[in-house]
A and B are shown apart, each in its own frame.
Chain A
Amino acid sequence: RKEVEQDPGPFNVPEGATVAFNCTYSNSASQSFFWYRQDCRKEPKLLMSVYSSGNEDGRFTAQLNRASQYISLLIRDSKLSDSATYLCVVKDQAGTALIFGKGTTLSVSS
């Protein structure tokens, strides 16, 4: 069964903290991976793609571990504005099917 699993949280952290989310996927043939951010039941928006070698965008770092079938998102120096739900998305090799995790909720407080 195709699955993408995330810890739902919530993760409650103070401003300035470093926080990491993991996401596991069951289909070893999955080929593309993304992190999306969703605010207050608004539409999900792409945060970053996840590349095999890992990639960084400012305070955000994404990693892929194919052997263990998980991806991670690291947020450094958390800001209040980082409070949101973070969705892990995996593309099935079979076609264009994109499988969403249920999301991890982050709450950053001052």
Chain B
Amino acid sequence: EAQVTQNPRYLITVTGKKLTVTCSQNMNHEYMSWYRQDPGLGLRQIYYSMNVEVTDKGDVPEGYKVSRKEKRNFPLILESPSPNQTSLYFCASKGQGNSPLHFGNGTRLTVT
């Protein structure tokens, strides 16, 4: 089954404790992206990747890192999480051209 898989689904952590949210897709998509979704603000892009070893900042990259060492994986790294990073996070991938985005199930992160 074609899918985007994120882990974990839920995560509660404390300020400053490094964490990684994993994202994997099995559709051989070149494009992958991370979003955060907050009430009243909609989906905002954090980082995206056009291909292996190519990553670019989205609209809200501060406090986040990503890597794209292989095509299927696109982990999101929070080196020193802060409470303002409490949010719902979605990973997504898409094929070429005008094909739509496929989203993972989401990761609900709480930073205390």
Minimal Cβ-Cβ distance residue in A for B98: A32
Picked from B45, B100, B105, the residue with its CB within 8 Å of the CB of A43 is B105
A window 39-67: CB within 8 A of B: 41-46, 49
Q: Contact: B42 with A101, CB < 8 Å?
A: yes
Q: Mark B9-53, 1 if CB is under 8 A from A, else 0.
A: 000000000000000000000010101010011110100101000
Q: Contact: B100 with A42, CB < 8 Å?
A: no
Q: Contact: B100 with A46, CB < 8 Å?
A: yes
**Closest Cβ of chain A: how far from B38's Cβ, in Å?**
10
Which of chain A's residues have a CB closer than 8 A to the CB of B48? 96
Which of chain A's residues have a CB closer than 8 A to the CB of B40? 102
Q: A31 vs B33: C-alpha distance in the bound complex, in angstroms?
A: 20
A-B contact pairs, 15 of them (CB 8 A): A34-B100, A36-B100, A41-B37, A41-B88, A41-B108, A42-B106, A44-B43, A44-B101, A46-B100, A46-B101, A87-B43, A96-B50, A98-B101, A102-B40, A103-B42
Of all A-B residue pairs in the complex, the 5 with the closest CB atoms, nearest first, are A102-B42, A43-B103, A32-B98, A100-B43, A46-B100
Chain B interface (Cβ < 8 Å from any Cβ of A) = 31, 33, 35, 37, 40-43, 45, 48, 50, 88, 90, 94, 98, 100-101, 103-106, 108
Chain A interface (Cβ < 8 Å from any Cβ of B) = 31-32, 34, 36, 41-46, 49, 87, 89, 91, 95-98, 100-103
